[in-house]
Chain A
Amino acid sequence: MANRFWNEYQKKIADNHFYYERSCIRQTFFPGSETAFLRMLKEELGKDVFDDFRLHTCTGIGYHADVVPLDTTMTVVGRIFSLMTEKGYENFVPSCVTSFGIFTEMVHMWEEHPELLDKTRENLWKACGREFNIPKNIAHPSDLIYHFRFELKKLMKYSLVNRFTGKPLRVVEHIGCHYAKIFPDKGVGKAEFPYVLAGMIEAWGGEVVDYPERRHCCGFGFRQYIVQENRGYSISNTKKKLESMEPYEPDFIVTNCPGCTLFLDRWQYTIAEMENKTYDREGYGIPVLTYEEMAGLLLGYNPWELGLQIHQVQAERLLDKIGIPYDLKQKYNAASGKILRAPEKPENLLV
C-alpha cells in the first residue's frame, strides 16, 4: 500500500536521446558545470545528447520580471522546440531550473488552452517560418543525474565520506523553487518530498541534513534581487537559511538551481562584510556546489576544470575532507594555459 502511494511521487524520466538546452546564467556563474554534465552523459554513460549552439534565451528572467510579455515567451519557447524538432529529438533537457519552469508552464498552458498553442504556431510561422512539436519528455539535468545515480556511482573514484573521521559528509540540499513548486508533480518526490538531490547524496555516501528552514527560498526571488533597493529582502532570506543550518555544521550545500547556488554562495561574502559573520567554525563559509560539480568531483574530474575557483566560498577544505588531490598552482590558469590574475581576498571571509 505504502509503495503504491509512493509511486505517485515518482517522475517519468527518459533513458536516452536528449536535446540539451544550455542556460544563459549558468554558463557565466558556473562555467564548468554544463561541460561536466555533457561529459558525464556522453563519455561516462554513453548517452546521446545533442548540444545545440543555435539556442538562445528562454526569456525566463525577463518573463518573471514582467519585461517580456507572455505571447513573446510562448513564441520563443516555440522556436526552441522547433530547433529540437528539426534535429529529430523528443526528450528536452533544459539546463536551468527557471527554463525548466518556463517550458513546463508554457506546455501546461497550451494543454489547458489549445487556442494559445494555435496562436503561438501562427506567430512563429509568421516570424521565422518554423514549426514545432511539443517534447514527449521534459526533464531537468538533475533528474537525469538522479536517474543514473547508481550507474554513475560505479564509475566514481571518491564518495561523500570524510576521510579523516570515516563518517558521511553532512550535506545540505536545496531544490530550486521553479523545479518543484510551480508544478509539484513535475519534480521527483513532488513539492512535498523533493528527493532529486537527497537521492544523489544518499546514493553516493553522504548524509542529508534536515534543518528547520530546509524548504525556505534561497533568497533570489526575481523581484527581490533585480531592484537594488529590494535586495535587503533577498539577503535576509539567505541569512535566515544560513542561520538555520549553521548548528548542524554542514560540510557543503548542493543545489540544482543557478539562482540558489549563486545567492547562497555570494551572500555569504556580503553577510561577512556587513556583519562580520560566517557560518562555519573557522570563518571560511560553507561551500556551495552545483550537483554537476558534486558528481564531477566524485568522478575524479579536475576541480579547476569544474570551475570551483569561480565560487565565492572556496572548496579546498572540502576537497581535503574527501581526499581529492588539487594543484594550487593551476587554480587560476585559463583553458589556454595563460595564468590569470588571482582575485582580491575579502576582508572577513577567509579564502
Chain B
Amino acid sequence: MPDFGFSIKTARTENLDKVSLEKYRELLRKVPSFKRCFQCGCCSATCSAQQYTNFNIRKVHTSFRRGEYNLLSEELKKCMLCGKCTLLCPRGVNLRSLIMNMRQLLEEPVK
C-alpha cells in the first residue's frame, strides 16, 4: 500500500444512554473543582510525563467524563504526580487529587 501520510479514522460515536456515569459522578463528589474544567488542555501541555510517554491527561479525564474506562488504569500509571498541571490550571482544578481519585475509582467495581 502506498504511504498516503494519513489514515482513516474510526468513528467515535458515544451513546451516553448506554454508559454508566456513576464513577464520574462519584469523582465530582470527591473533587468538586473538576466541575470547573473547561478543557483548555494546559494540563497536557505542561505535563512532565508527556515528554517521555504518550500520556495525555486531558484525554484521560475527558474519557472518564464520558464513561469510557477501558485502559484508563494503565494510562494513569504513567503519571508521576509531579503536580505541574495543578500549578498551571487556570480554573484551579486539583488535578493531583483528580488523578489519585480516578485511580482509586477505577479499581472499584461498577455499582
Contacts and interface: CB of A to CB of B under 8 A. Distances in A.
B1 A230 contact: no
Contacts, number: 31
A232 B2 contact: no
Contact of B9 (A233, A270, A271): A233
Contact of A239 (B2, B5, B6, B8): B8
B1 to A, nearest CB: 5
B1 A229 contact: no
A228 interface: yes
Contacts of A317: none
A270 B6 CA distance: 11
A47 B10 CA distance: 49
Interface string B1-44: 11011111111000000000000000000000000000000000
B62 to A, nearest CB: 18
Contacts of B6: 228-232, 235
A235 B5 CA distance: 12
A236 B9 contact: yes
Contact of A232 (B1, B8, B11): B8
Contacts of A236: 8-11
B4 A231 contact: yes
Contacts of A87: none
A270 B8 CA distance: 10
Interface in B47-91: none
Interface residues of A, number: 15
Contact of B5 (A231, A240, A271, A275): A231
A51 interface: no
A25 to B, nearest CB: 21
Nearest to B5: A228
A80 to B, nearest CB: 35
Contacts of A235: 6, 8
A238 to B, nearest CB: 9
Contact of B4 (A233, A239, A240, A274): A274
B1 A273 contact: yes
- Classify the interface of chain B: helix, strand, loop or mixed: loop
Nearest to A240: B11
A229 B5 contact: yes
Nearest to A231: B6
A273 B2 contact: yes
Interface string A206-233: 0000000000000000000000111111
Nearest to A237: B9
B8 A271 contact: yes
A294 B12 CA distance: 36
A229 B4 CA distance: 10
A236 B4 CA distance: 14
Contacts of A274: 1, 4, 7-8
B3 to A, nearest CB: 10
A271 B7 CA distance: 10
B11 A275 contact: no
Of the candidates B2, B6, B7, the one having the most CB atoms from chain A within 10 angstroms of its own CB is B6
A245 to B, nearest CB: 16
Contacts of B10: 236
A233 B1 CA distance: 19
A232 B12 CA distance: 14
Contacts of B11: 236, 240
**4 closest residue pairs by CB, A with B:** A231-B6, A232-B6, A236-B9, A228-B5
Interface of B: 1-2, 4-11
30 contacts: A228-B5, A228-B6, A229-B5, A229-B6, A230-B6, A231-B4, A231-B5, A231-B6, A232-B6, A232-B7, A232-B8, A232-B9, A233-B9, A235-B6, A235-B8, A236-B8, A236-B9, A236-B10, A236-B11, A239-B8, A240-B11, A270-B4, A271-B8, A273-B1, A273-B2, A273-B4, A274-B1, A274-B4, A274-B7, A275-B8
Given A230-B6, A271-B8, A273-B2, 12 more contacts: A228-B5, A231-B5, A231-B6, A232-B9, A233-B9, A235-B6, A235-B8, A236-B9, A236-B10, A273-B1, A274-B1, A274-B8
